[in-house]
């Protein structure tokens, strides 16, 4: 039991969460069992994926609806997904997903993709066609849920 009101520590954690300071949020999660759920909520709002393995693992976790740290309904908790360094081959050139930097007018090097407002996207089971296509050949479509 805390000697401080719940609203006080929740406000502190929310302040840190708005700054997206993951290191401090992890420390907050370790302070006590009372701080853990609120810090965890902010830690999973923005997810950064850097490898194909992380992308596929995250997709599987969202399909299952369960994640690490006892998370339930992970898909509705995540508000922003950032892909960094996931590359695809397009002809003879290697391009990454997203848009961040431009080398020249004719050749674009893309370093990251940010998908936000994911709470507005319908669940994958409602799509008629797989979202993965020829523009993302290294990712295979996941089977649709029944």
**Residue 35 sits in the same domain as residue 65:** no
Residue 134, token pair as written in the block: 């020829």
pLDDT, tens digit, 9 for 90 and up, residues 53-99: 888 888 777 777 666 656 667 667 777 787 776 554 443 233 333 33
Same domain? 59 vs 91: yes
* 106: pLDDT strictly greater than 80: no
Q: Cα(81)–Cα(75) distance, rounded to whole angstroms?
A: 11
Residues 72 and 107 in one domain: yes
Q: Which domain holds residue 57?
A: 45-136
Domain contains 26: yes
Do 67 and 121 fall within a single domain?
Answer: yes
Residue 13 has pLDDT above 90, yes or no: yes
pLDDT of residue 104: 36
Express as a percent the part of the chain with pLDDT over 90.
8
The reply to whether 77 and 118 lie within a common domain is yes
Q: Are residues 79 and 131 in the same domain?
A: yes
Task: Say if CB 82 and CB 49 are below 8 A apart.
Answer: yes
Residues 65 and 126 in one domain: yes
Helix 22-31 vs helix 36-43: crossing angle, to nearest 10: 160
pLDDT of residue 45 exceeding 60: yes
- The total number of structural domains in the chain stands at 2
CA distance 23 to 33: 18
Return the number of other C-beta atoms located less than 10 Å from residue 25's C-beta. 21
101 pLDDT above the threshold of 50: no
Is 143 among the domain residues?
no
Instruction: Report the pLDDT averaged over residues 104-123.
Output: 50
Of 96, 27, 100, 36, the C-alpha closest to 68 is 36
Residue-level pLDDT at 83: 78
């Amino acid at each position: 039991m805390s000697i401080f009101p719940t609203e006080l520590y929740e406000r502190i954690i929310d302040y840190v969460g708005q700054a997206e300071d993951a290191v401090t949020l992890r420390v907050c999660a370790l302070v006590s069992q009372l701080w853990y759920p609120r810090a965890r909520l902010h830690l999973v709002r923005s997810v950064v994926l850097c490898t194909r393995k992380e992308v596929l693992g995250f997709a599987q976790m969202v399909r299952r609806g369960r994640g690490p740290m006892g998370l339930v309904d992970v898909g509705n908790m995540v508000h922003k997904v950032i892909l960094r360094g996931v590359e695809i081959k397009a002809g003879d050139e290697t391009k990454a997903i997203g848009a961040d930097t431009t080398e020249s007018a004719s050749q674009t090097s893309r370093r990251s993709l940010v998908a936000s407002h994911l709470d507005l996207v319908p669940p994958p089971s409602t799509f008629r066609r797989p979202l993965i296509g020829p523009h993302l050949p290294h990712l295979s479509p996941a089977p649709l849920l029944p």
